[in-house]
Amino acid sequence: MTAAEETEVTLTVGQETDLPAEPAGPGRGAEREMHAILEIGVRGGAGLIGGRAHSGAPALAEVLIVDTSRSMLHPATKLHAAKDATVAAVRLLPEGTAFAVLSGRFHAGVVHPGPDRAALAVAGPAERAAAERAVRILDADGGTAIGTWLDLARRLLKDHPAPVKHVLLLTDGRNEHDHRATMTLDTALDACEGRFVCDAWGIGDDWDADLLLSITRRLHGRARAVREDHELPAAYEELVNGLLGTAVPELRIRLTPTPGTVIRRVTQVVPGEQELLPAGAAGRATEYVTRAWGEEVRHFQVVLAADPTGRERGEYLQLAAVEVAVPDFGHPVRLPRPRPILVRWTDNPLDASRRHPGVRRHELYQQASAAVALAYRAWLRGGEGRPAADREFARAVHLAGELGDTQLLDALRRIEDGPGSGRIRTGLKDVDWQHLILSSAMTTPPRHPAGDPSPPAPQAPPAADGLVECPDCGWLGPADSVYCGGDCGRPLRGPSV
């Protein structure tokens, strides 16, 4: 494989290093929180899905779930669009891809390769044609119990060796029969988390944005919806084509805190909020798993806690080291060197008041999403809630403007009563709000000046600040250090540097 085909992973750390050494007020504990933004990018290299994993097995195992509850017949265009979209997705699957099609109602069933087939089908002309025939004769009846659908997908994918396991779920309604199902949604999500990536789509006028978001946030996917039924096949084609561009099936963020530092949380904040749970530990290091990377950039917020008691003021100290790891999947990946997360304890309240723009940006998104949710809840109260709904809606518009997020602004304008009015128009349907809730859950990175598509990598503190950084492992130490005090131990002075 040529260097041009090699996949490269990039890592930068953005933060304001100064934290107050003194408590913010009476009764406050000694610990302080450091917030840092990790910008991780994947670029270059050929898509993994078009080939096979190093074991010779298919690189992708795909399960397509079609909602076939009774409501899909009202109107029938929903079921027709679902069939067309599922067939379009099957036709795009590369040769050798493992796949299945499921129908979901009160229980889940295997449409293809059939109820008596325990294994997944393998994409080829005959299997694609058979799957299309089975999809075309689908009918709709019964209720909705999405937990059973996801659990069946989990069982089908459980033992498959493909490095990328993906589920594409479509529903037009709400999880109305969850309380009577053999497996509730919460139980299914517990069982499915970490097993596959799930993208969930809404269609029609009665789907629930919060339901889709609860599924995709747990299963590392994205929630989307179509406004018109006929838009679904093209949307599915776009999604599958994007999936075929997967370059890295799994990427792990490895945090190694220094003694006395505690990891509070790690959260994906771009392209959407998603809390990451620890996936394993080795010594002091803790790993957090992210999945199914194409050529893209994601942002993560890391929150660390440390006690400044007895620590030097005004000197850079390392709170943790950050690195990324990728499991061996048969393709070369060039990884970045580890980067430090730093702190400088200060008694100057002005120094300590600065905050990194990425942290502030995430907070603005949280506030905008909360304002949309509050506006929706007030709108549900009818005329009584209208003043509160308009007030929260105007707040969401203001926050979207401060963020400079044109996509969110466009979504808000769709329900505004005239440009710049800050009021909600009359005649809205509930589904209009569901689309807005999905839009408010999507986040974008800040735009950089023209000609500078990515921010410069953060620089280590210069020697004048009393530190030197090892170019190999990112260790930081006194400026007069001769050897790295980190894992590599390399010389830091002389011809070998």
pLDDT in tens, 160-212: 999 999 999 999 999 999 998 999 999 999 999 999 999 999 999 999 999 99
Q: What is the pLDDT of residue 58?
A: 75
Average pLDDT value for residue range 431-458:
74
Alpha helices, DSSP H only, in 327-423?
349-352, 357-379, 386-403, 406-413
- 84-121 pLDDT per residue, tens: 999 999 999 999 999 999 999 999 999 999 887 778 99
- 334-368 pLDDT per residue, tens: 999 999 999 999 988 777 777 889 999 999 999 99
User: Residue 367 and residue 242: Cα distance in Å, rounded?
Assistant: 30
The full length of the chain comes to 497
User: Residue 297 and residue 444: Cα distance in Å, rounded?
Assistant: 10
- What is the reported pTM? 0.87
Show contacts of 488-497: CB within 8 Å, 24+ apart: 492/468, 497/471
Question: What is the four-CA torsion angle of 188, 193, 195, 198, rounded to 10 degrees?
Answer: 80
Q: What is the pLDDT of residue 495?
A: 37
The amino acid that residue 395 corresponds to is R
Q: How far is CA 215 from the centre of its chain?
A: 12
The amino acid that residue 324 corresponds to is V
User: Residue 264 and residue 312: Cα distance in Å, rounded?
Assistant: 23
Q: What is the pLDDT of residue 231?
A: 98
User: Residue 70 and residue 67: Cα distance in Å, rounded?
Assistant: 9
Radius of gyration of the chain (CA): 25
Q: What is the pLDDT of residue 348?
A: 85
Tokens of 98: 């493992």
CB-based contacts of 120: which residues, under 8 Å, 6+ apart?
A: 61, 63, 98, 99, 100, 113, 156, 157, 160
CB-based contacts of 125: which residues, under 8 Å, 6+ apart?
A: none
